[in-house]
Structure 1
Amino acid sequence: MTSSPIDQKSAILTTDFLTTGRRVIRREADALTMLADALGDSFGQAVDLLMAASGRVIVSGMGKSGHIARKIAATFASTGTPAHFVHPAEASHGDLGMVAKGDVLIVLSNSGETSELADLIAHSRRFGIPMIGVAARDGSTLLRQSDVAILLPDAPEACETGIVPTTSTTMTLALGDALAIALMEHRAFTPDHFRMFHPGGKLGARLLRVRDLMHDDPPLVSEATPMSEVLLTITQRGFGVVGVTGADGLLTGIITDGDLRRHMDGLLALSAGQVMTRAPRTISPDALAGEALAAMNDRKITCLLVTGPDPMRAIGVVHIHDCLRAGVA
């Protein structure tokens, strides 16, 4: 069965689209390799300048460079470096007041001659505000005026006409990421720090620790406690479990709903020590909440006792509902 002319044309177009897509991605990937190879002393000088800032990092750019500047500022801010974006045109109408001594400017412009940047550059020179310029044209006004000039390599744009900012913006974005990560690693920025700046959403939930969700007063009874009292404790506390401790106060077991069912006959005549399951599964308060959820799912249980620093001393309890309410999944 032969294909129709429409199907043949569609197949040809699909092949053409794939060819274009692969060419664009490979061209931008090649440009990133060029950028990595081209990084020199100016990159280190830029990091030193950013490290020394007592104020904020102000990132600015016009047009497509402005969009990249917004993302770079957001990356700095979320990795421990106070930063924000200032629109160069708005800066000329009052927002220059947002740029002050102690700040460091990062100004982006592919040509290095963007007219809207003039007032921002002049302001930085007048008040001695250090400026890092990023451009693709050597000898451009921006690079000549900058305290640290980072020249992007001469890589072709991804489009065949060479007029659409594509490769140049990809390189600038990667450069911003490189600066942010260099600062982050130098400051030993940890996942806990990252969570402080990302308290909401999936990312923040994944970085929560058990100590952030646990209840500090775990339900506990001694081994000698009559089961009539144990049942009252389980009902009053509402976790569906109770930890059992020895004479030294250390955890020796746990009583769950399953334990109650297994000892139904003559239950009230027994003590907690006779009903409990020994060596209960526990978790550290420093463990990720995701680990606690995985452990509960794996064991088909709804609660974990939290122990620490002594591995057998219960200091809290975490319920599966605590994890789900926090968005841990």
Structure 2
Amino acid sequence: MRFLISLCVSLLLLINGEITNGQTTETTTSISDPCYDYNTLDEYWRDIQQSQYSGRDDTLVEWSGWYRLYLNGESAQMSEWCVSYMQCGGETGLYLNGSHPTLEDGVVTLEVVGAHSWWLYGYSHQCGAYRSTSIRVKACPGDYYVYEFVKPNTSVPRPRYCAVAFKSISSDPCYNYESLDRPWRANNESGAHFCDYSFSWSGWYRLFYNGMDIRMPETCVSSFSCNTYYNLWLNDPHPQIEDGVVIRDVCGSYHWGGCCEFNSKPIRVKACPGNYYVYELVNPQFLCAGYCTGTVLFPLFNF
């Protein structure tokens, strides 16, 4: 009788778990993969290019499960950029405070933030001033992302998740960049006044000075440099190769102002094999600001 009872118990353990060295270990099997079990979210006003205010508020949405983003039927992803005031259909645009995961990362939890805005010599933005509720994100086979959206922090003024046109998961900016060789951007150049806001920035850039690798300055750029009104430079050190893609703050100094008189939009930076950097440059915060470069800097990395 004892043998039969023991046999039945063992069978039950085998059905509900595994027996290893006398210990029962619960087996966990995923009920569904969010890469194939998601809701579709295609709302044009979530585009960071949309600046028409429409009073959208994601705290009023009944979020449930995982979502895949689209913009006008095309695959999209959450913004990793600081979103300007009154974009994406509401007041505070929410974006990821970090890079999207890779396929190998599986499901990761990422911080969600928003920018605070006020009037000071035009619009000025304090990126990451608001902290919303973190969300889970996953990169999927087939080149797209899914997000487990939740109700944002209600202390954030009219928050909403912002989207951008999708960029391929498999594209490495170290090998997919545009060369930018503009000697007049060097921090020892002065004269004309160029405004980077008028440039059509798109993607990643590798910086050169007359054919030689250079990088953006990490220290204050003196007045009347880089052939622009507002000199833009990195307010954080460059990354190492093992850091991957990082977000760096950008400082702006004016001809007769302070060293970091205002903050422009943050940019993404990556250190690449081959001893160079790439930058994902965007339109600056101010109308006549320009990205500065060094002159000759070798080696680029500090190992």
- TM-score bin (small chain): under 0.3
TM-score by length of 2: 0.27
The structure in which a higher percent of residues are helix is 1
The higher relative CO (CA closer than 8 Å, separation ≥ 6) is in 2
The structure in which a higher percent of residues are strand is 2
Higher CA-based Rg: 1
TM-score by length of 1: 0.25
